[in-house]
């Protein structure tokens, strides 16, 4: 059973990515699971090439530093040739209407003259990511479910039209994890792709220095109510309690009982987050300071992923009447 998950280098890895996904990947993943940095997906909107390269390296380092086995990790663009070829085959298996029906495309392209064509076709690239690796299960939230359904449709259609090549994947709901909200504006989710620096005031990045983490958490918005109590309808306090609960493996209600003021709670959250992130920051820093080692890990991951998909790509190309 192979489960495939990706993280897009659209910005620096933030606390929500860690508590909502990476931590679980590291602690619950099996040796068959695959994790990849989806840098090609980060090109569907305006992007900065140097930044994309740096963010890709940072994400790879964070995944390894968080404890995910290097054997399970690769960078998507290291398979550009394989994925490019398979994407074309799958585009020739997909109808224009199917791609244009994707809700995410409609939302993201709405009112934008300069929307890249890749915004329309990237679900097909995502299908190639999944089908090349022969992944069985794709843990995704609601927003990506439709894309996995498309991969499922294309796998079935290809197999029925040309011959059995692809494992038909299923979307599965990931185990409920923490949903971390922005500290400055707790009505929205914490996100890595915040653009302006003022926007990053409420975002804790996994590689932030401890003092910066403390400062951001001390400035977190609360609602002026004096009592520390867990009430999901109060997004600011609830967010802090949920973060602390996720860091300490308890429940938000339980952690609320230990604090008499928001000042004290923020100190508690800050220390818990700093201590949780410390080993990851240090290990990721070592990897980023040793580009040769990071490159070695990256190349090994790429070779494994390419090898895993090679026979499927070769069969698919042969069955559609191309290749050797
Ligand atoms: N705030 C969050 N709380 C809990 N989980 C989160 N994830 C993201 N933000 C939070 C989870 O992180 C994983 C990887 O995310 P992604 O790269 O696929 O993109 P995303 O979900 O769109 O994450 P971001 O950080 O919000 O990126 P941008 O700003 O580009 O949209 C996923 O499992 C996601 O659920």
Predicted ipTM of the assembly: 0.96
Give the Cα separation of 29 and 126 in Å (integer): 21
Burial state string for 280-293 with b = 16 or more CB within 10 A and e = fewer than 16:
bbebbeebbeeeee
- Give pLDDT, residue 112: 86
CA of 321 to the centre of ligand 1 (A): 39
- Give pLDDT, residue 257: 94
Q: What distances in angstroms separate CA 114 from CA 44, 45, 178, one per listed residue?
A: 11, 9, 35
Do residues 179 and 20 make contact, with C-beta atoms less than 8 angstroms apart? Answer: yes
- Give pLDDT, residue 198: 64
Q: What distances in angstroms separate CA 167 from CA 136, 163, 209, 296, one per listed residue?
A: 7, 12, 43, 30
- Our answer on whether the CB atom of 139 is closer than 6 Å to any ligand 1 atom is no
Q: Are strands 73-75 and 137-139 parallel, antiparallel or unpaired?
A: unpaired
Give the Cα separation of 322 and 101 in Å (integer): 29
Specify burial of residue 318 (Cβ count, 10 A radius: 0-12, 13-18, 19+).
middle
CATH topology match: 4-176+290-319 vs 197-285? no
Give the Cα separation of 118 and 41 in Å (integer): 9
* Residue 299 annotated in active site: no
Q: What distances in angstroms separate CA 85 from CA 92, 118, 308, 312, one per listed residue?
A: 11, 15, 15, 11
- Top mutation candidate among 13, 20, 247 for ligand 1, by most atoms within 8 Å of CB: 20
- Give pLDDT, residue 196: 64
Query: In the chain, which ranges are E strands?
Result: 4-7, 34-37, 73-75, 137-139, 170-172
pLDDT digits (tens, 9 = 90+) for 11-20: 999 999 999 9
Do residues 59 and 77 make contact, with C-beta atoms less than 8 angstroms apart? Answer: no
CA of 276 to the centre of ligand 1 (A): 19
- Give pLDDT, residue 116: 95
* Residue 266 annotated in active site: no
* Residue 108 annotated in active site: yes
Q: Where are the domains of the chain?
A: 4-176+290-319, 197-285
* 1.10.580.10, 3.55.50.30, 3.40.50.300, 3.40.50.620: CATH of 4-176+290-319: 3.40.50.620
CA of 160 to the centre of ligand 1 (A): 35
- Our answer on whether the CB atom of 59 is closer than 6 Å to any ligand 1 atom is no
- Give pLDDT, residue 175: 80
Ligand 1 atom nearest the C-alpha of 141 is 35
- Our answer on whether the CB atom of 304 is closer than 6 Å to any ligand 1 atom is no
Q: What residues in the chain have per-residue pLDDT under 70?
A: 194-198
- Give pLDDT, residue 111: 86
* Mean per-residue pLDDT over the chain, rounded: 95
Q: 197-285: what fold? A: Tyrosyl-Transfer RNA Synthetase (1.10.240)
């Amino acid at each position: 059973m192979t489960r495939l998950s990706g993280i897009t280098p659209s910005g620096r890895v933030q606390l929500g990515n860690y508590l909502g996904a990476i931590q679980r990947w590291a602690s619950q993943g099996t040796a068959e699971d695959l994790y990849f940095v989806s840098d090609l997906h980060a090109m569907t909107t305006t992007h900065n090439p140097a930044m994309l390269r740096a963010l890709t390296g940072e994400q790879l380092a964070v995944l390894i530093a968080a404890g995910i086995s290097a054997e399970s990790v690769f960078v998507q663009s290291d398979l550009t040739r394989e994925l490019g070829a398979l994407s074309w085959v799958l585009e020739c298996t997909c109808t224009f209407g199917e791609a244009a029906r994707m809700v995410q495309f409609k939302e993201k392209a709405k009112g934008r003259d300069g929307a890249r064509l890749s915004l329309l076709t990237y679900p097909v690239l995502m299908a190639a990511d999944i089908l090349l690796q022969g992944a069985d299960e794709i843990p995704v939230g609601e927003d990506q479910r439709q894309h996995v359904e498309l991969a499922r449709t294309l796998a079935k259609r290809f197999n029925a039209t040309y011959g059995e090549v692809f494992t038909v994947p299923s979307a599965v709901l990931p185990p409920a994890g923490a949903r971390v909200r922005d500290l400055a504006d707790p009505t929205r989710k914490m996100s890595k792709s915040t653009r302006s620096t003022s926007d990053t005031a409420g975002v804790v990045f996994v590689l932030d220095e401890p003092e910066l983490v403390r400062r951001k958490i001390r400035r977190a918005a609360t609602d002026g109510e004096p009592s520390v109590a867990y009430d999901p309808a109060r997004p600011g306090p609830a967010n802090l309690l949920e973060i602390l609960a996720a860091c300490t493996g308890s429940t938000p209600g339980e952690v609320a009982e230990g604090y008499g003021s928001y000042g004290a709670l923020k100190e508690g959250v800050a220390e818990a987050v700093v201590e949780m992130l410390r080993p990851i920051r240090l290990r990721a820093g070592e990897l980023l300071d040793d580009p040769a080692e990071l490159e070695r890990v990256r190349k090994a991951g790429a070779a494994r992923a390419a090898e895993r998909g090679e026979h499927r790509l070769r069969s698919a190309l042969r069955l559609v009447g191309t290749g050797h």
